[in-house]
Structure 1
Amino acid sequence: MEVILKEDVPNLGHKNDIVTVRPGYGRNYLIPKGIAILATESAKKVLAENKKQQAHKEEKIRNEALELAKKLEGTKVTIGAKTSSTGKIFGSVNNIQIAEALTEKGFSVERKNISIVDDSVKEVGNYKAEIKLHKDVKVEIDFEVVSE
């Protein structure tokens, strides 16, 4: 019996895969739970069309991420922080402050997609941050922490 999976199933397949299962497993478990649908000819045609549209959308999103990566590549951000006389920062610089500095420069990047390459930024100086724009597209930017 062939079924089309609606979600990922461990040791069986991923979403939108057509898999062959035992008739009892498909009829009594997968289909009633809504995990799969019967792989009829019409369902296969719908699946093919959905995959085609999804691939088109994914390609568009990826191209937008590549364009933003090219714009971000040479960008250097300056972040001001309160410091002691020895150059140590009170607290630390995190991805929220980097996202705010990028927003001021005109780039819209979510803070959860920013990771600081070094463990923590606790002193004045130059550092690097990695921004994940897409699952295939990552860009590194330089940022400088200065005393306010």
Structure 2
Amino acid sequence: MALLILYTVFIGLVTLTPNQLDTGPGSFIAWLLEFLASHRVTAWIDYDMLEKLANVGMFIPFGLLMALQCGRSRWWVGWVTGIAFTCLIEGTQATLLSPTRFGTISDLVTNSLGAGIGAVAGLIAMTLWPGPADTPVDHEVR
């Protein structure tokens, strides 16, 4: 539960601060884009694609942690909560942070996709490695 809370706060800090991550010359993102462009296999990854991949990647752990928290029978709550969370984020960016941040449908879709992937990964993990809660309890008095 603590990891889920910390990760939710992390997403909030990344998405709900007035300024975006530094993308100017000399920034990590500029270096990464230059690095990707210099290799034939990854040259197709431009800023827009990197942003979409980052949005998906940022919400995979959220969906995973939420699904693990909710359990195997309610794994889908990780996906639904991820969709609700990204709606809140994009709405806040579009209204309260509109001079510096932009809420977009693309972000809504990619964040939701990431939460869904994470929730399904959580379901798979819980199915492959059932925890103590999934083990039948022996109520026989001895």
Q: TM-score normalised by the shorter chain: which range applies? A: under 0.3
TM-score, structure 2 as length reference: 0.26
| Bigger strand fraction | 1
Larger Rg belongs to = 1
Normalized per residue, the structure richer in helix is 2
TM-score under structure 1 normalisation? Answer: 0.25
Which structure ranks higher in relative contact order (CA pairs < 8 Å, sequence separation ≥ 6)? 2
